[in-house]
Amino acid sequence: MERLTIQTTAQSELVDITSRVQGAVDQIGLQEGVCALFVPHTTAGLTLNENWDPDVKSDLLLTWGELAPPDRRHRHSEGNSPAHIKASLMSASTLILVEGGRLQLGSWQGIYLAEFDGPRRRNVWVKTVAG
């Protein structure tokens, strides 16, 4: 298993980790199979989305902020309930097919770490299975 460390720089942001994940697949040497990604955090997640137009990232962050804004009724003592709610809307894991040593993503797809309680140092675990 490979472990990626991602340093985020904002409270909420989407960090394109596609090239880092492809580098991990290259390091492992997988030619055919599945790449599993997992984020061991409760205030961050993973998503696949467009990586061509940066406005997509802005639109996603704007909408997540509207879906889970700070609310004085939140009871979590750390004060980061919106981050937990947003992370619950994401996934902590995803699977990506690998063929010919390359991640099989759509034309405009990228892999993003979704940060909701940063800036922080985040981990992404990469495990591959040949097949």
Residues 6+ apart with CB under 8 A from 9: 118, 119
Pick the closest to residue 116 from 11, 6, 8 (CA basis): 11
Report the interhelical angle of 81-89 vs 54-67 (nearest 10°). Answer: 120
pTM of the model: 0.94
Q: Look up residue 73 and give its two tokens.
A: 């009724």
Band of residue 70 on the pLDDT scale cut at 50, 70, 90: confident
In the chain, the domains with their CATH numbers are: 2-130 (2.60.120.460)
Give Cβ neighbours of residue 65 (< 8 Å, ≥ 6 apart): 12, 82
Which pLDDT tens digit goes with each residue over 107-122?
Answer: 999 999 999 999 999 9
Answer for the pair 40, 127: CB distance below 8 angstroms, yes or no.
Answer: no
Q: Is 1 exposed, middle or buried (0-12, 13-18, 19+ CB in 10 A)?
A: exposed
Query: Half-sphere exposure of residue 94, counting CA atoms within 13 Å on the CB side?
Result: 21
Does residue 46 register a pLDDT over 90? yes
What's the average model confidence in pLDDT over 85-96? 96
